[in-house]
Amino acid sequence: MPRNPAQPLLLTPGPVSVSRTTREAMMVDRPAGDVEFQEDLAFARRYLVSLIGGGESYTAIPLPGSATYANEGVIASLVPPGGKVLLHSNGVYGDRLVEICAHLQVAHSVVRTPPFTPPSAALFEQAIRADPGITHVMLVHCETSTGVLNPLEEVADLCRTHSKGLLVDAVASYGAIPLDAKRLGFQAITLSSNKCMQGVPGVGWAVVQKQALENAKGQCRSLALDLWDHNQHMERTGGFRFTPPTHVVAAFAQACREHAAEGGVEARLARYSRNWKRLIDGMRQMGFVAVVPDNFASPIVATFREPNHPDFSFQALFQGMKRRGFVIFPGRLALANTFRIGCMGDVTEEDIGEALQALSDTMAEMGVTQFGRDEAVLA
Amino acid sequence: MPRNPAQPLLLTPGPVSVSRTTREAMMVDRPAGDVEFQEDLAFARRYLVSLIGGGESYTAIPLPGSATYANEGVIASLVPPGGKVLLHSNGVYGDRLVEICAHLQVAHSVVRTPPFTPPSAALFEQAIRADPGITHVMLVHCETSTGVLNPLEEVADLCRTHSKGLLVDAVASYGAIPLDAKRLGFQAITLSSNKCMQGVPGVGWAVVQKQALENAKGQCRSLALDLWDHNQHMERTGGFRFTPPTHVVAAFAQACREHAAEGGVEARLARYSRNWKRLIDGMRQMGFVAVVPDNFASPIVATFREPNHPDFSFQALFQGMKRRGFVIFPGRLALANTFRIGCMGDVTEEDIGEALQALSDTMAEMGVTQFGRDEAVLA
């Protein structure tokens, strides 16, 4: 059955497609003070804490906007005056943490590593030992710009050994990759309402250790992003401090119910992994080369090298896919001649199969059928 | 025809009800980089500038989150280091600007006046003359917590005379009360995607004088709320700096189209004014007393005194209205024994007529029918 290009399937690093029922939760205008709305909010907050086994030690704080707001809120709220953050970057989202610290005038140092492989834990250990001023380490768990999974467990161990506060950007992994608060001991972890949680975009979340939050009282130099303040208001009233995006929050509660119904993190990881395997296998059969080595790749998004063929153009591939009802994504500028296909969202293995067929048809239309693995490797 | 309590009409200061077609614009998942999405965004930005006659001198910048983010973004971005803001408060939203400046550690002084009447311009003039350190004045145009309209034109004249930068919180007036950029000369004005614009909540907007914005380059100590940075990115790429709430933005573009189709600011003001008149007249006929004098009231929301009757309770009134498909709003804590009914949103005079009937029925159910104007005045 041909897809409707007016309702395309998003195979991107985000926004990703959500279920029809999640979108339909937005068809009611609800008052923010109403009991039904506040029940949805309370449920979503509890559910997010339960996903990391946070028990009574963590609290989930929604920050309307995007996950970048949540990352900024975490740094601005939890790093005390005189604190210093060790950052790592091997992509766009690592770089963004650097930008946030620079804007906030929060002291920071940066470990930079190449984009397609994770860093060794030894690099972090060196950096921590070299600078006793470091109070916190912030790590992007899954770098959305490539799909590389960074070594969260090893960095968590280092933070425990050296008594550093750990902050985690899990925007592209929360909900689909197991994250154990007791094992990892992070002070805060951030996520998006969209991505692996499959709500519509519009709310960033920070799940924060209550003790770390209490220590942060009065510390944030922003009202809008003051996590302590949002949390105390929510605990006291059951509602948001400022007018919330009621429709987005309703969709998120529905998305959490569907996450649970699917079988939680384990089931979602299994589905995304099937999507990713089908995608990688199918693309390799056509002659494409995946940029990230399989053992470092997450089943979130895959990055492929463009075939080195005179008739290939990403724009033509993008448009051909779009006409067939699929949206794919360019590579980042710094990673020239690559493109990305996402495996997240309300997407099944069958959808990936159809997308592969659409991709094959588009390549044929473009006249790019004869490119072998070797040729692509040379690209 | 009885209303469906599961899809109630929101007669509140916000979130307010939007049209079915506006909600339906959220039923598609769209990629943020797509041409259709970027056309919607460009249209909404142009439309907002056109509503104030901003021509080529202003730029409209969406800040996902809420209007509070937009207010914080304006202060954090436009008030330079060493600057000082004169604030005014006669309600919750004036107080919020004070909180924002306190968090940002932006120097400020505050003129406070009683809640139910607007301040005189002379108070502002005194404050401006008394402190040459003041660089900016920020005024809440319509104080949502009461519905009082503050003297924007007079304050704008003072700012012009004394060469102060004017910042306006028009969150409860933009789209329904004429605002002339040339006449008022503000550096920035903020609004909500909801309220009088009738999109769903989830994006605050700042419409900013390009010259003031250019002067603000590099000044903001937040990445998430840096208006200069958001604007340059949007001008350069046609898209958002960070993952946008795509569904909320689509609904906003639809809401702008419907605003234009209704006849723009003039038509919306006329409809809200009819709503307000019908409401005030009907409530007075029942014996209720409006708290704000008619000549200072805006047709956005009306505040009423609770009747001084032993069987009256706001909770019972709220629940009775809710069962009948209408949501009304309590007064603010500081304004004890009042409640509010909104006139904004996708609401007609006929809806108000039905709400009055529902209110009358609820009062009868409560056994509160015998309260006269005098008794209420004494409350």
Tens of pLDDT along B318-337? Answer: 999 999 999 999 887 667 78
Percent of chain A with pLDDT over 90: 91
CA distance A41 to A63: 12
Contact A26 B99 (CB under 8 A): no
Provide the 10 A C-beta neighbour count for residue A35: 10
CB atoms within 10 A of CB B378: 10
The answer to whether B23 faces chain A, any CB pair under 8 Å, is yes
Question: Has residue A243 got a pLDDT over 90?
Answer: yes
Tell me the pLDDT band of A1, cut-offs 50, 70 and 90: low
Q: Which residues of B touch A27 (CB under 8 A)?
A: 23-24, 26-27
Facing B224 at nearest CB: one of A68, A221, A329? A68
pLDDT, tens digit (0-9, with 9 covering 90-100), for B282-291: 999 999 999 9
- What is the distance between the alpha carbons of residues A32 and A25, in angstroms, rounded to a whole number? 15
Residue B375 confidence (pLDDT) above 80:
no
**Side-chain half-sphere of B184: how many Cα atoms within 13 Å?**
26
In this predicted structure, what is the pLDDT of residue B53?
A: 98
Cα A200 from chain centroid (whole Å): 13
Give CA separation, A51 vs A265, A347, B233, in Å.
7, 21, 35
What ipTM is given for this predicted complex? 0.96
Of the candidates B193, B58, B64, the one whose C-alpha atom is nearest the C-alpha of residue A68 is B64
Tell me the CB-side half-sphere exposure of residue A290, using CA atoms within 13 A.
26
> Tell me: the pLDDT tens digits for A191-218?
999 999 999 999 999 999 999 999 999 9
By the 8 A CB rule, do B172 and B13 touch?
yes
* Cβ-contact B212, B187 below 8 angstroms: yes
Q: Across chain B, what does the average pLDDT equal?
A: 95
On whether any CB of chain B is under 8 Å from the CB of A7, the answer is: yes
Query: What strands, in cross-sheet order, belong to the sheet with B329-330?
Result: B301-305, B338-342, B329-330
What are the respective helix, strand and coil percentages of chain B, to the nearest 5?
A: 45, 15, 40
- CB atoms A248 and B224 under 8 Å: no
Q: What is the pLDDT of residues A84-135, one digit of tens each?
A: 999 999 999 999 999 999 999 999 999 999 998 899 999 999 999 999 999 9
Nearest Cα neighbor of A59 from A172, A200, A189 is: A189
Find the mean pLDDT for residues A369-377: 56
CA angle A218, A222, A225 (to 5 degrees): 95
* Of A186, A176, A128, residue with least CA distance to A152: A186
Chain B residues closer than 8 Å to A66 by CB: 64, 242-245
Q: Classify domain B9-16+264-375 at the CATH topology level.
A: Aspartate Aminotransferase, domain 1 (3.90.1150)
Cβ–Cβ under 8 Å, residues B67 and A61 = no
* Whether the predicted model's global pTM rises above the 0.90 cut: yes
B4: buried, middle or exposed (CB in 10 Å: 19+, 13-18, 0-12)?
exposed
Half-sphere exposure of A269 (CA within 13 A, CB side): 12
**Distance between CA atoms of residues B200 and A250, nearest Å:** 12
Q: What is the pLDDT of residues B52-62, one digit of tens each?
A: 999 999 999 99
Residue B278 CA to residue A193 CA, distance in Å, equals 41
Single-letter amino acid, residue B305: R
Mean pLDDT of chain A: 95
Percent of chain A residues past pLDDT 70, beyond the cut = 97
> Which of B79, B233, B247 is most worth mutating to test chain A (most A CB atoms within 10 A of its CB)?
B247
Q: Which of A203, A232, A243 to mutate to test the interface with B (most CBs of B within 10 A)?
A: A243
B84-129 pLDDT, tens digit each: 999 999 999 999 999 999 999 999 999 999 998 899 999 999 999 9
β-strands B84-89, B136-140: how paired? parallel
B7, B105, B194 ranked by CB distance to A221: nearest: B105
Distance CA A276, CA A11 (A): 11
Tokens linked to B341 = 């009914």
CB nearest to B23's CB, from A26, A33, A226: A26
3-state SS class at A150:
coil
The boundaries of every CATH 3.90.1150.10 domain in chain A are: 9-16+264-375
Beta carbons of A29 and B14 less than 8 Å apart:
no
CA-based nearest distance B244→chain A, Å: 7
Chain A residues inside the 8 Å CB shell of B30: 15
Decide if B67 touches A, using CB distance below 8 A: yes
Q: What's the rounded Cα separation, in Å, for the pair A351 and A227?
A: 39
Q: How confident is the model at residue A379 (pLDDT cuts 50, 70, 90)?
A: very low
Q: Which residues of A265-275 are buried (b: 16+ CB within 10 A; e: fewer)?
A: beebbebbebb
The residue type found at B345 is: G
Backbone angles phi, psi at B41, to 5 degrees: -65, -45
Residues of CATH 3.40.640.10 domain(s) within chain A? 21-261
Q: Which CATH class is domain A21-261?
A: alpha beta
* Chain A residues 123-152 within an 8 A CB cutoff of chain B: none
CA angle in degrees (0–180, nearest 5) for A210-A153-A209: 0
Number of residues that this document lists for chain B: 379
A23-34 pLDDT, tens per residue? 999 999 999 998
A17, A72, A248: residue with CB nearest B223? A72
Least CB–CB distance from B100: residue in A8, A223, A245 = A223
The answer, yes or no, to whether residue B371 has pLDDT greater than 90, is no
- pLDDT at residue A334, rounded to an integer: 65
- pLDDT at residue B334, as a whole number: 65
Do residues A220 and A76 lie in contact, with contact meaning Cβ atoms separated by under 8 Å?
A: yes
- Put simply, the chain B residues between 311 and 330 with a CB less than 8 A from any chain A CB are 327, 329
Which tens digit of pLDDT belongs to each residue from B38-49? 999 999 999 999
